Each structure stands twice: as structure tokens, then as C-alpha cells.
Amino acid sequence: MEAWDAIRARRNVRQYTQEPVSAEDLHRIAEAGWRAPSAKNRQPWDFVIVTDKAQLQELSTVWMGAGHIAGAAAAIVLVIPEPADERRKVTDQYDLGQATMAMMLAATDLGIGTGHSSVGDQGKARAILGVPDGYLVAYLLGVGYPADRPLTPIRKPNRRPFDEVVHHGRW
């Protein structure tokens, strides 16, 4: 798939088939996150790839919007050190957004769907994953083949009108 097609085809997928995602494809998706830009090239992230069904089920309970993780073939969990200050928190969140989007586009390119989730219960998430103190389990990214329809460019996305969003020179 061309990059532009992957951008136009990417959507949040929260229902997956039972087909597993290969280790090779999971590593390619994680590599996309690893290659993402970050402030001062700090690369604050660590990624935990989870494929065990029982572990995915447990992870689905760490946030009210994480239920789709239980049905995913895998999850890629984004972990960062606890930010030292507000500036670091802001830059780390931006960096994680870039890594997440890079992974989502890489997955879409492979025909694999993704659905992101926040994490509410840090203690539980750290225990499930073995993440040491001093780190935050920032986001979960469900990964799997879409159950409803394949990922193809969306002709009429449900977005605010382009001309209302894009301004030239001034607001």
C-alpha cells in the first residue's frame, strides 16, 4: 500500500478476527514506533508486545475504554519513565503520539487494524506487564485483523470539513 493510501485507510479497529498476527509483522509495527521522531531524539519509550490471550484479557480491564484489547490478536503497550516535570510530560506525550501514529500506519500498510486505549489503573497495568516502579504504562494499542471490513481508503471520512480546519496565513 502507498503511504497516502495507508493514511486514508487507517481507522480505529476495535473488533478483530481470531487470525493471529505474525511475529514478523508485530516487529515491523513496533519498529515503526521505534523509528518515530522524538524531542531531542530522547526516544523515551519502551514497547511491550503482548500476544497471550489471558494477559490481553487482563489488560482490557485497566481502562473503561480498553475492552477491545481482550479480542485483539496482540497489543503493543507504550511505556515511559515517570516525567520529571511538566515540560517532560508534554514532550513525552507528543513523542508517544508520534510513535503510536507511526505504528498505526505501519499496521494499516500490512492490512492490520489497530485501536488505541488509555490506561487508568497504573498499578494493575504495571503488575500485568512486570513494569518496574518509576515508569508509566501510557497507552495500549490493540492489533489484529479487522472483523468487519478490510482497511481500504475511506472516500468520505467522518471528519470536520477540510475548509473549516485548514487556514492559510491567518485564522
Q: Which domains does the chain have, with CATH numbers?
A: 3-147 (3.40.109.10)
pLDDT above 80 (res 75): yes
- The pLDDT of residue 43 is 96
68-77 burial, b if ≥16 CB within 10 A, otherwise e?
A: bbbbbbbbbb
The pTM of this model reads: 0.95
pLDDT above 90 (res 1): no
pLDDT above 90 (res 45): yes
Cβ-contact 12, 115 below 8 angstroms: yes
Paired with 135 in beta bridges are 81
pLDDT band per the 50, 70, 90 thresholds, residue 78: very high
In percent, how much of the chain has pLDDT > 90? 99
- Cα gap 85→3, rounded to integer Å: 36
